[in-house]
Each structure stands twice: as structure tokens, then as C-alpha cells.
Amino acid sequence: MDHHEVLIVGGGNAGISLAAKLLRDGAKDVAIVESESVHRYRPMLNYVGGGEATMEDLERPAAAVMPKDATWIRGRVVSCDPTGPSVTTRDGRTITCTTLVIATGLEEDWGDTPGLEEAYAAGWAGSTFLVQTAPKVWPAVRDLTNGRVVFSMPPEPAPCAATALKPLFMACDHWQRAGVLQNLDIHLALPGPTSIGVPKADSILEDALTAYGVQVLRNARVTSVSERQVTVRTDERDVVLDEIAYAHVIPSYRAPRWVAESDLAGTSEAGLVDVDPLTLRHRRHDGVWSLGDVADLGIKPSGGALRKQVAVLSPNILASGGGELQHYDGYTVMPITVARHQLMLVEIDREGRPAPSVPVLDPVRPRRLTWAIDRYALPVVYFRRILRGRV
């Protein structure tokens, strides 16, 4: 039977950057279970959907991002015994470990939006949140000159849900420049009462939505999708939007089923891993930790949040024999383009208070500079520093 000191399930943003940091901090035996042969910088998917980037810009071979001193176990975990701890892969391999880290991210909950997969396949709907449909979004919205379009933001938990506004605003800016904006009937389904729940940012976003003539459905959830039709449930009523030219509808998300159905999960409806949101240690199983989108941390998940989580989790794992554990402050980030080349950066702590990384500039004010950093500088920092445990 295989055994490793630290076993990380998932080689995404969380798993790779944690493994790299642990090795830098002195860990000797770190293994990552990951089945995918391609690693993606997912924030760039929205720029693909806005016609500002290609899939090649965000994809790298997984082998190129694996830390060289980590063991890569190519497989898909299908079950876990958190008491061991141990995991079993789809091909029947059981791996035991001293420390287990769950970093699987979330998966689409297709059952929550019946008809959505079929609409993607038919081509009149798509989403930047899915690798398969992201490259088809821009050609579809770019060529629209009239008709009804629907955008949605997924309910929490979701991978940086607020960035669902990026393709909307990039499309609106394009339609405005093309002189067709007034011919389009644009709808947005928001899961909450305001755009993102941060007052200063909300006021800028609401102004932008009004300026582009977007009709907003609040406290709204897409409940079903059928032949060119999207049904949205709000507090008061079901709204049926039909004769749709294009729908950018994003599915709901949840933890992988094997996580949700094991004793890793707590009481969250999405089956997230039940960790102490400060130390990232499992509440019942001392040898188990979690970070990233799948961990129940009481925040809106984001890749930016991982920067702080990794900085806390690596020393905590190495100190787990008895040293003092560090605390994660709940930092997360929501970068949103309000025009093609203007971006606001909303950084908050667990209580929703502003937590700017660079306190001298007001990052919430949309700027071209912030957009250029998000589009061009951050991907370089991601591949060269974050995935190498250097941030």
C-alpha cells in the first residue's frame, strides 16, 4: 500500500500552490492526486468569453506546474476514510497518509438547473465557467445585433461567482461600441438583493447596469432552461424569459459527491469540507485539512483567497504535532470589469470589511491599470510565483 506524509487531493490552484509552499517550508514527502493532464488559470476564462484571451493563454501541461519534488499520483479519488486517513482512487488504489488535504474544488450541480446542459449542447447557451463552452461564448455574443439575452450569477458556493459579471459588462461595452446596445433586451439574474453585497462596489455596479440598460432580477435563481427559454425564480414570482437569442447561464456548484457523502462534510447544503475556518483543520479529524473552493470557510471562494490560505495552512500542517496554529482572516477578492478595459478590485475580509492589498490606491474604483494587472500581470505571477509557493 502507498503511504505519504502529506497527501493532497486535487492539483488545482489550491493543491499545487500548497504543495510547493510545503516543500519550500521543509516538508519532505508531499504527494498530489490529480487526473487532469492540463492545468488552467481559470480567472482567464472570463477574458476568453470577452474576446480578450484564448484558451492557449490559460492552459499549461499539468506536468509543467507540478512541483518537481512532489509525487504526482495520476488518478481520481472516489472515496475517503478520514479516520485513517486514506483515499481510494477510481482504479482501486488505496493511499494512506499522515496528513490529508482536500483541495478538489467544486463541481457543477447539473440537477439544480434542468435543461442547462442540453442548452449548452444546442449552442444557444454557454458559460465562461466551463472549459467546454468558454471559447464559444465570445463568437456568440460578438455577433448579436438584436434580441433577448440573459446572464446569471451562480449562488454561493461557486468559484468567484462575482466574476460572472465580467462577460456581461465586456459584452455590453462591445454592443455599445458596435451601436447595437439599444436593440438588445438584456436581463441579469442576481442571487442576492444587490450586485455583490459590498456597498461601495454595489453602487458603481448598479450605475453601470443602469447605464447599459440591463434589467435586473434580484434574489433570483435560474430554475430551468428549455427550448430558448429560461425560468428564473425570485422571492415574489417565477419569471419566464423566452425567445432568447443567447443565455450566459452558469450552473450551481457543490462539493464532489464522495466528499459530501463522507464524514468530511459538515452541515452545509453543498457538502463542503467541515474545517475550522481560522486554522483550516477538520473539526473532527485532526489529520485532515482543507482549503480552496471546497472548504467551508464562510467566505465567497476565490483564487486570490488562496494566497492567504496557503500562507496559513503550510505552517499549520508543519506545526500540527503541537505548535501554535496560525489564523486565516477570511480575505477574498472579486475582480470585475465594468467595461472592456476597466476593472474594479473588491477585496474584503470575512466580515465584509475592505481589505485592500495595496492600501494607497482605491482598488474599488474601476481603472485601466487594474484591468491590465488582472489581464496581463496576474497570469504571469500565477504561473511563476503562486504555483511555485513563492507568494
Ligand X SMILES: Cc1cc2nc3c(=O)[nH]c(=O)nc-3n(C[C@H](O)[C@H](O)[C@H](O)COP(=O)(O)OP(=O)(O)OC[C@H]3O[C@@H](n4cnc5c(N)ncnc54)[C@H](O)[C@@H]3O)c2cc1C
The sign of the CA dihedral 111, 115, 121, 124 is negative
Q: Which is nearer to ligand X, 39 or 148 (CB)?
A: 39
- The H-or-E segment that residue 22 falls in is helix 13-24
Nearer to ligand X, 45 or 225 (CB): 45
Query: Residue 77 interacts with ligand X (CB under 6 A)?
Result: yes
- Helix (H), strand (E) at residue 257: helix 257-260
Give the binding-site size for ligand X (rule: CB under 6 A): 34
CB of 207 to ligand X, least distance (A): 21
Per-residue b/e over 325-363, b at no fewer than 16 CB within 10 Å? beebebbbbbbbbbbbebbbbbbbebeeeebeeeeeeeb
Reduced to 3 states (helix: H, G, I; strand: E, B; else coil), residue 303 is helix
| Cell output for 371 | 484591468
The distance of closest approach from Cβ of residue 51 to ligand X in the complex, given in angstroms and rounded to an integer, is 15
Q: Is 347 in the site for ligand X (CB under 6 A)?
A: no
Of all residues in the shown chain, the one whose CB is closest to ligand X is 12
Spatial separation of the C-alpha atoms in residues 177 and 154, rounded to whole Å: 28
- Residue with Cβ nearer ligand X (10 or 231): 10
* 79-118 positions binding ligand X, by CB under 6 A: 103-105
Of the candidates 50, 115, 287, 303, which one interacts with ligand X according to CB under 6 A? 303
For residue 192, which of 234, 224, 227 has the smallest C-alpha distance? 234
Return the residue of 4, 7, 8, 12 that touches ligand X, per CB under 6 A.
Answer: 12
Report the site for ligand X in 17-36 (rule: CB under 6 A). Answer: 33-36
Whichever of 113 and 231 has its CB closer to ligand X, that residue is 113
Choice between 231 and 279, CB closer to ligand X: 279
Query: What cell does 308 get?
Result: 492567504
Stretch binding ligand X (CB under 6 A), from 3-11, 180-188, 207-215, 353-361? 3-11
> Interface mask (CB under 6 A) for ligand X, residues 111-140, using x and -?
-----------------xx-----------
- Rounded least distance, CB 239 to ligand X, Å: 25
The three cell numbers of residue 362 are 482605491
Q: Is 251 in the site for ligand X (CB under 6 A)?
A: no
Contact status: 290 vs ligand X (CB under 6 A): no
Buried b (16+ CB within 10 A) or exposed e, 61-87: ebeebbbeebbebebebeebbbebbbb
Local structure of 231: helix, strand or coil: strand
Nearer Cβ to ligand X (148/171): 171
N residues, the chain: 391
Burial class (CB in 10 A: 0-12, 13-18, 19+), 236: exposed
CB 54 to ligand X: min, Å: 15
Q: Which stretch binds ligand X (CB under 6 A): 43-51, 181-189, 212-220, 338-346?
A: 43-51
Choose one: 7-15, 184-192, 280-288, 356-364; the region binding ligand X (CB under 6 A): 7-15
154 binds ligand X (CB under 6 A): no
| Smallest distance, ligand X to C-beta of residue 241, A | 23
Give yes or no for residue 155 binding ligand X (CB under 6 A).
no
The stretch near ligand X (CB under 6 A) out of 232-240, 301-309, 311-319, 321-329 is 301-309
Which residues, including other chains, have CB under 8 Å from residue 81's CB and lie 6 or more apart?
87
Cα distance between residue 116 and residue 125, in whole Å: 8
E strands, 104-202, in order: 107-109, 125-126, 147-152, 184-189
User: Rule CB under 6 A: is residue 296 a binding residue for ligand X?
Assistant: no
Site residues for ligand X per CB under 6 A: 9-15, 33-36, 42-43, 45-46, 76-77, 103-105, 128-129, 159-160, 163, 256, 292-293, 301-304, 333, 335
